Structure 1
Amino acid sequence: MLEFRTQGFQGYSVKYSPFFDSRIAVATSANFGLVGNGRLYILGLTLNGVVAEKWFDTQDSLFDLAFSESNENQLLTASGDGSIKLFDTTLSTFPIQSWHEHAREVFSVHWNLVGKTNFLSSSWDGTIKIWDPENSSSITTLPTHSCTYSAQFSPHSPSVLSSVSSDSHLRVFDLRTPASASNHLTLSIPIHTPPKTRPGIAPSPGIPPSEALTHDWNKYRDSVIAVAGVDRVIRSFDLRMAGAGPIAILPGHEYAVRKVTWSPHLSDVLLSASYDMTCRVWTDGSAMGVGQGNEAGQAGDPMAYGGGRELGRMNRHTEFVTGVDWCLFGAEGWCASCGWDERVLVWDVRATMGQ
């Protein structure tokens, strides 16, 4: 396990470069993001450990980041002052572009993985905005009418995107549809609706809605999205059966789940980071086939559903874990995590599985 200290700055988000297996970036904030500056770290994984190749200081907290999918040296940051900044690691310490249309904190940014020419942002102001880095203003604004903690483009389509918000809804937008009154909204799924009862499986109890903080698209199954948040439970939904409720429910975290991310190597495996100071690796049960039910899941837990279960956990952080990301390259299983303990850890998920 490798470690780097973000001295004086608490981590909020960590991402691997889509171009280099030895480069990661971390968005951090002073004073836990409540007030003060932010810092974007560009870290290199070397034979001598993790080293800071460069960093950029900002006037406000940083909550998220995204590497460009079209330029190996550029990356975005999401800031507490409502701004989005684009940095180039080969140029000066100042951003090469800045946008400021959001009225409140920007909590997520995401580059279009398929189209590669645009990116999005989501904010506490209840909107998602789509941007072209060549333009000084946004292309499209999508209202969610709720504090939107996470938004992403689909990894399968350049025109489809999704979000989760404080109103406990998963929303899916398709930019190919007419804007009209729906503003490209094609699905709005209440996250806390219990799954429909299936033969041989006890019905799951209903849970009061709570804020959804994170979500991620499955990289292999183009209609599956995992969602998690304040209620500590990870759920996965199949958009083809949106009205049926979640297809898998994975309980286990002791506090809010801050980040979920599907494996880029295995279709049924995902990672989570939580305020309970752990990162956990899960299977959603899909690799076992349909109909395995709770027998393959967490025995005795009435919340478990879909045959999924926890495969292992990493508990080396000593404060809230706020970010985790998979490495796209090399042997499957390498990842990086960051947290409020001012530590970035690089570790092998395979070493935690089965513990």
Structure 2
Amino acid sequence: MNPPAVLQTPGFAHYSVSWSPFYNTRLALASSANFGLVGNGRLHIASLVPGAGGLPTIQLDKFFESQDGLYDLAWSEAHENHLVTGSGDGSIRMWDIMLDKLPIGAWQEHTREVFSVDWSNIQKDTFVSSCWDGSVKVWKADRPRSAVTLQAHQSCTYQALFSPHQPDLISTCSTDGTLKIFDLRSPSYATGPGTNSFTNPLNAAVLTVPASASEVLTLDWNKYRPFVLASGSVDKMVKVWDCRMVRMSEGQVGGACESSLPGHEYAVRKLQWNPHKADVLATASYDMTCRIWNTTPGPQPQLRYIHDAHTEFVVGCSWSLYEEGLLASCSWDSRLNVFRP
């Protein structure tokens, strides 16, 4: 197997990586100085290019500085050069990668770190963010304030993602060990005399899945099976949930666990379903590995591949949308790897 293509960004630990939905060789990295604990952040734009002997290499095209660490990013689905980032100071910024230095938009409503952002691939002017204060906000790129606020969890909401199948469904995961699904067509705010719909949003989850006894750090919607999600948690487990199969547990309504995938040695920080195959899942873990799984239910978990070229926590993974089987992983070792399992 060929070695991975590598990009080093000295001094900046990675938190998230994503392939462009418009260009098959372009990637973006959200990074932070001092592992995101203190200091500034940096948004890196990189490209996969042919190298010596026909093997691909990664070139750094440009970078943008931010005043606080960057924890996540999402490419616009409407404009090929735009993306948004979530920051440790609670801000969200939009960048045009063809311009220099300054963002072209900024929003500041979250009260703590913005840990995830996601752009809807159906309503292409809309993105969502989640925060350590438990809130989730839905934004329109051309509006100065959020369109919807959900108090999704009472503790840190690590990730919020739009369904790739239904434009009004959002899934979230949290410190509280649950996955939740919200339907934006349901009432989102408190109503009646003396209530303030902006500052007192209701928890409007239509489904709550008790996914783990520990913190759930990451989730993803399956691209081919509309109500199937995967979760990764601090207890090292990867689980696949069928949310059409409702079950009752300790007074909660939740989906049925279709597969459990043990194998990681530490917390699972990020996962993503393959955009080309319904049963293939990539996971990134604090055990310094990125793993590929076949999730078809069976008596034994089907681990297909372990990528162990990183030397620190692996916190991001992203499948190429254009080249089947091409995967990017990023880590606190300031190293971006692109490889084909």
For normalisation by structure 1, the TM-score amounts to: 0.87
- Could you list the per-position Cα deviations for residues 234-283 of structure 1 after superposition, in whole angstroms to 9, with x for gaps in the alignment? 01111111326311100000000000100001100100000000000001
The reply to whether residue 52 of structure 1 matches residue 52 of structure 2 is no
Q: Which runs of 5+ in 2 are unaligned?
A: 52-56, 191-201, 248-254
Deviation of 1:184 (Å): 3.4
Q: Percent identity at matched positions? A: 49
Q: Which letter maps to 2:20?
A: S
Deviation of 1:180 (Å): 5.7
- What RMSD, in angstroms, separates the aligned Cα atoms of the two structures? 1.1
Q: C-alpha distance in 2, partners of 1:236/1:114? A: 24
- Stretch of structure 1 that moved more, 215-224 or 171-180: 171-180
Q: Tell me the equivalent position of 1:167.
A: 176
Q: 1:225 to 1:92 in 2, by over 3 A?
A: same
Whether the 8 Å CA contact 2:137–2:146 is kept in 1: the answer is yes
Q: C-alpha distance in 1, partners of 2:188/2:147? A: 13
Query: Which residue of 225, 228, 234 corresponds with 2:232?
Result: 228
Q: Tell me the equivalent position of 1:315.
A: 308
> Any runs of at least 4 consecutive aligned residues in structure 1 with deviations exceeding 4 A, and if so which?
180-183
Q: Tell me the equivalent position of 1:186.
A: 206
Whether the 8 Å CA contact 2:41–2:65 is kept in 1: the answer is yes
Task: Give the SS at the match of 2:310.
Answer: coil
Whether the 8 Å CA contact 1:66–1:109 is kept in 2: the answer is yes
Q: C-alpha distance in 2, partners of 1:157/1:28? A: 31
Query: Which residue of 82, 99, 119 corresponds with 2:90?
Result: 82
The reply to whether residue 246 of structure 1 matches residue 239 of structure 2 is no
Q: Which letter maps to 2:229?
A: I
Q: C-alpha distance in 2, partners of 1:12/1:180? A: 32
Whether the 8 Å CA contact 1:62–1:79 is kept in 2: the answer is yes
Task: Give the SS at the match of 1:245.
Answer: strand
- Could you list the per-position Cα deviations for residues 64-85 of structure 1 after superposition, in whole angstroms to 9, with x for gaps in the alignment? 0000000000001010000000
Q: C-alpha distance in 2, partners of 1:218/1:324? A: 15
Q: Which runs of 5+ in 1 are unaligned?
A: 193-208, 287-292, 298-307, 350-355
Query: Which residue of 324, 327, 331 corresponds with 1:335?
Result: 327
Q: Which structure 2 residues correspond to residues 189-204 of structure 1 after superposition, within 5 A?
A: 189-192=209-212
Q: Which structure 2 residues correspond to residues 19-38 of structure 1 after superposition, within 5 A?
A: 19-38=22-41
For normalisation by structure 2, the TM-score amounts to: 0.90
Q: C-alpha distance in 2, partners of 1:242/1:343? A: 41
Whether the 8 Å CA contact 1:232–1:254 is kept in 2: the answer is yes
Q: Tell me the equivalent position of 1:271.
A: 282
Q: C-alpha distance in 2, partners of 1:36/1:229? A: 27
Query: Which residue of 154, 157, 175 corresponds with 1:145?
Result: 154
Deviation of 1:341 (Å): 0.8
The reply to whether residue 66 of structure 1 matches residue 56 of structure 2 is no
Q: 1:93 to 1:254 in 2, by over 3 A?
A: same
- Could you list the per-position Cα deviations for residues 72-129 of structure 1 after superposition, in whole angstroms to 9, with x for gaps in the alignment? 0000101000000000011231000000100000000000111111000000011000
Q: Tell me the equivalent position of 2:120.
A: 112
Q: 1:180 to 1:56 in 2, by over 3 A?
A: closer
Q: C-alpha distance in 2, partners of 1:63/1:180? A: 28
Whether the 8 Å CA contact 2:64–2:100 is kept in 1: the answer is no
- Stretch of structure 1 that moved more, 243-252 or 92-101: 243-252
Q: Which letter maps to 2:270?
A: K
Q: C-alpha distance in 1, partners of 2:175/2:246? A: 19
Q: Tell me the equivalent position of 1:218.
A: 222
Whether the 8 Å CA contact 1:189–1:242 is kept in 2: the answer is no
- Could you list the per-position Cα deviations for residues 203-235 of structure 1 after superposition, in whole angstroms to 9, with x for gaps in the alignment? xxxxxx110000000000001000011000001
Task: Give the SS at the match of 1:136.
Answer: coil
Task: Give the SS at the match of 1:32.
Answer: helix
Whether the 8 Å CA contact 1:24–1:43 is kept in 2: the answer is yes
- Could you list the per-position Cα deviations for residues 162-198 of structure 1 after superposition, in whole angstroms to 9, with x for gaps in the alignment? 0000000100001112336654320111113xxxxxx
Task: Give the SS at the match of 1:247.
Answer: strand
Whether the 8 Å CA contact 2:150–2:188 is kept in 1: the answer is no
Q: C-alpha distance in 2, partners of 1:83/1:180? A: 23
State the aligned residue count: 314
Q: Which letter maps to 1:212?
A: V
Q: Which letter maps to 1:177?
A: S
